[in-house]
Amino acid sequence: MTLRVALISTPFVSVPPKGYGGTELVVADLAKALRARGADVVVYATGGSDLPGIEIRSYFPAPQWPPDRDIERVHATWSLRDAARDPRGFDVVHVHSPAAVEMARLSPFPVLCTLHHDHEPELSDLYRRTPEVRLVAISRSQARRETAPIAAVVHHGLDPGRYQPMEDQGYLLFLGRYDRVKGVAQAIEVAARAKLPLVMAGEPHEREYYDSEVRPLIEKHRVLEVGPVGGNRKAALMARARALLFPIQWEEPFGLVMIEAMLSGVPVLGAARGAVPEIVEDGITGVICDDATEMVAAARVADKLFNRERIRKLAEQRWSATRMAEDYLTVYRAAQLEPLVVEEAGSDTAAEG
């Protein structure tokens, strides 16, 4: 019997995204991989979304940017009501926004929610008030920090076909928003100390921080700043880098850019925080760095230390959308067949796909 799945994305960015949009990229690749595994998938997303061969239903005709909780609630409510009225019904409703958890009572079908954010006390309170919704963490690190019960851990995966390894052109890459917690200043410091060129792709998150602290460093060290990138341009920029710098200053729940780099055959030099130790195989697909000095040393020898072909092959095994879909299918079947049993908050023993 064909499994029928409703995926509820956000109303903020199209699926797949045309530029920035980590959650929406995951939803797009999950939908395609589930369909390839024989599932019947319906995606609830904003207008402008495009997934050939997969039905998309939209309340808003265009992306509603910037993010707004009220807009998110309208989208989630309409999506859940539409799914509930579907004459064929669904085996599972898989949501990707907190507002959909808040409105989960509208669904007569099992609901699970992937957490795409760090621990927020207000949201954890919401999750505890809706125990009928299975929570899926995207890393063990995130699961440990979440105070609401976690039913499973499923790491993100992406379509390897989007990423094609290319010849190393000798530069280090920082890709992401220019924010303190992302370690943008630390990335510039590492590249300068390693005496290697740095390319930065992203945009300021806090203008005052960028103008007062980041821009002077960019000018001082002659960093090449290319702005936000997406699609083929992003993939090519990634694939030609000697290494990706990921010097985060917070407990990042996942870090999608790391698996994008590895699928491109590019090593990741990441700070030993958040999900980095789960994603990077130390000395094989990158280096888990305790401090900037260690990251500088790794950057200097990255062209000799790593086998880019091996990084790509390992990434295809660990970080593909197919693996992610198989893990979610296991969670979906559990939601259908078993009563909800969750581990204590912060436990490492929740089921992991």
User: pLDDT tens digits, residue range 106-127?
Assistant: 999 999 999 999 999 999 999 9
pTM: 0.94
At 65 the pLDDT is 93
Report pLDDT for 343: 43
**The domain 161-317 is classified under which CATH number: 3.40.50.2000, 1.10.3720.10, 3.40.50.11140, 3.40.50.150?**
3.40.50.2000
4-158+321-352 belongs to CATH 3.20.20.10: no
Residue 116 CB contacts under 8 Å (≥ 6 apart), including other chains: 22, 23, 26, 96, 138, 253
Q: What is the pLDDT of residue 1?
A: 76
**Centroid of chain to Cα 231:** 16
User: Do the Cβ atoms of 269 and 305 come closer than 8 Å?
Assistant: no
Residues of the chain with CATH 3.40.50.2000: 4-158+321-352, 161-317
Low-confidence ranges of the chain (pLDDT < 50): 341-349, 351
Q: Rounded distance, CA 92 to CA 100, Å?
A: 14
Q: Which residue has the tokens 């995606």?
A: 43
